[in-house]
Amino acid sequence: MKSLYKYLFLIILTQISYGQSMNFDMLHGNNNPNLVGDSIKLEKRTFNAFKKMEKAALMDGIELKIISAYRSYDRQKTIWNNKYLRFTKDYNLEPEKAINEIIRFSTIPGTSRHHWGTEIDIIDGKYEVNDDEDVLIAEKFKKNGVFYEMKKWLDSNSENYGFYIVYTDDQKRKGFEHEPWHFSYKPISMELLKLFRKSDLKKVIKNGEIKGSEYFTNEFIEKYIKEYILDINKDLK
């Protein structure tokens, strides 16, 4: 019962604080004053909750390591534009096909949940990886994968600390592919999603600084919002 009251208190507190201080520009990855941390930044309550989960995991031999948290609009734009150029120039894909390939895993700048500071991509830090190694591969989190033990621990414990997987392994879910490494701090992100949905997403998505944005038709944008932004873990809606 105490945990329920605590959760409801967090929701009310979030509605008050973010309703007053959070503007749409922050939600889209610019000038967010609610961040703490050094090279890895998180929304402050998300940061504190992660530290508790990190300590508990370590007692069970799991070394949770965040490899991506808050991303600014400019950082997401760089990721997107680099992928667009690679797919269109190096792989000679038509623009529409390049865009569809990018959005398998990467969001259009301004629409990333990582802009909020409530999202974490995590691996088990006790395994050494090369700087150029792509560790965010689903197979690494499955049985016999190096992050399988961590994944089992998170399946059993992460929600106790408020962290929920965003893009579930549900065949009925559309949009982004399954990401067993991406977790969201529910008490904050649910409220931010409500605010986010009130912003002018079409204007954000059609930003001319985003390579390929001239191919974002109204039909594409409506589908992207419905399937990629909103078709997530039902517990986070």
pLDDT single digits (tens) 14-37? 544 554 456 788 899 998 888 999
Mean pLDDT lowest for which of 9-13, 56-60, 86-90, 213-217?
A: 9-13
190 pLDDT above the threshold of 90: yes
42 pLDDT above the threshold of 60: yes
Mean pLDDT, residues 218-225: 97
Distances (CA, A) of 204 to 30, 80, 218: 12, 14, 13
pLDDT of residue 193: 96
Residue 6: which pLDDT band, with cuts at 50, 70 and 90? low
Contacts for 196-201: CB closer than 8 Å, 24+ residues apart: 196/24, 196/27, 196/116, 197/230, 198/24, 199/24, 199/27, 199/28, 200/24, 201/111, 201/225, 201/229
Domain containing 160 equals 2-236
Strand positions, DSSP E, the chain: 35-37, 41-43, 64-68, 119-124, 163-165, 182-185
> How many domains, the chain?
1
pLDDT single digits (tens) 126-166? 988 777 678 999 999 999 999 999 999 999 999 999 999 99
The CA distance from 87 to 67, in Å, is: 24
List for the chain the helix, strand, coil content (%; round to 5): 50, 10, 40
CATH number for the domain harbouring residue 42: 3.30.1380.10
pLDDT of residue 1: 52
Express as a percent the part of the chain with pLDDT over 90. 83
pLDDT single digits (tens) 50-91? 999 999 999 999 999 999 999 999 999 999 999 999 999 999
The CA distance from 51 to 126, in Å, is: 17
